[in-house]
Structure 1
Amino acid sequence: MIKDIAFTAYPAKDVAGLRKWYEDTLGLKFSGPYEEDGVEKYNEAPVGSGYFSVLTTEWADRQPGSASGVVFEVDDMDKTVAELRGKGLDVEDPYSTPVCKIASFNDAEGNKVSLHQVTVPH
């Protein structure tokens, strides 16, 4: 039935601006915009076997700041948090579970983004 996650989409008032924020802040490489009347409405970046997408609030039927589901896997939580704080992000202190570390912050439009590092492999 379910075999993979195809994509996660976050709403944006300014798709081009939020795309640039993810490129500059997290180093994501977007594949190219879908535009209407010269305005970027959708874009996606490959991450693992799926895609992370930003799309216009016109399509999402959600407002910026309403998304909270994306969790990016990182190799080194402490290093990643330090790098993001160095870019001016207000990243919460990582917390540990029995199997991982997690930290979160908000993107340029207020959507929650989380980081995850496995500490005990499944």
Structure 2
Amino acid sequence: MSLTQIQTLTMFVDDQERAREFYADVLGFEVRTDLAMGDNRWLEVAPPGAATAIVLHRPFPGAAAGTSAGTILASSDLDADVERLRAAGVSVDGPNELPWGRQATFADPDGNGYVLSAAG
């Protein structure tokens, strides 16, 4: 195999516009692609400069929004990011000191769970 990276991850969301606002306005992600494709919309967001993006997509048949958990986002200033999320009305657990480092957890408006991990 010649696999070199993870290009995108898909998060299922019920309301793509609400998700776009959360990821862009609250998390500070850039909107890389926002295209209508018939009845579908390809909405791709990522932290500035990141190689891997998240596709905010309506659930596929048999899937449900808000069922993803455990995606880890690296933070160069965990405390500031936690405070910024809380100021935006996001419920955040932590930061917590764990054997492997400091982290906090939160969810997007659909309930997809994230871990904020102190970088380096």
TM-score (norm 2): 0.83
Contact 1:95 1:102 in 2 (8 A): yes
For 1:28 and 1:60, locate their aligned partners in 2 and report how far apart those are by CA, in whole Å. Answer: 27
Contact 1:15 1:42 in 2 (8 A): no
Q: Quote how far apart the aligned CAs of 1:107 are.
A: 0.6
> Which aligned pairs between 1:23-102 and structure 2 lie closer than 5 A?
23-37=24-38, 41-47=41-47, 48-57=50-59, 59=60, 61-102=62-103
**Structure 1, gaps ≥5 residues long:** none
Q: 1:91-122, CA deviations, whole angstroms, 9 ceiling, x for partnerless residues?
A: 0012223442111111111111221113xx4x
RMSD of aligned C-alpha atoms?
A: 2.0
Q: Quote how far apart the aligned CAs of 1:34 are.
A: 2.5
**Structure 2, gaps ≥5 residues long:** none
Structure 1 runs (4+) deviating above 3 angstroms are: none
Moved more, 98-107 or 71-80: 98-107
> Whose strand proportion is higher, 1 or 2?
2
Contact 2:13 2:58 in 1 (8 A): yes
Q: Quote how far apart the aligned CAs of 1:61 are.
A: 4.0
For 1:111 and 1:68, locate their aligned partners in 2 and report how far apart those are by CA, in whole Å. Answer: 6
Contact 1:12 1:54 in 2 (8 A): yes
Q: Residue 96 of structure 1 aligns to a residue in which SS?
A: strand
- What is residue 116 of structure 2 aligned with on the other side? 115
Contact 1:85 1:91 in 2 (8 A): yes
Contact 2:34 2:43 in 1 (8 A): yes
Q: Residue 88 of structure 1 aligns to a residue in which SS?
A: coil
Q: Residue 33 of structure 2 aligns to a residue in which SS?
A: coil
Identity of aligned residues (%): 22
Q: Residue 104 of structure 2 aligns to a residue in which SS?
A: strand
The aligned length equals: 117
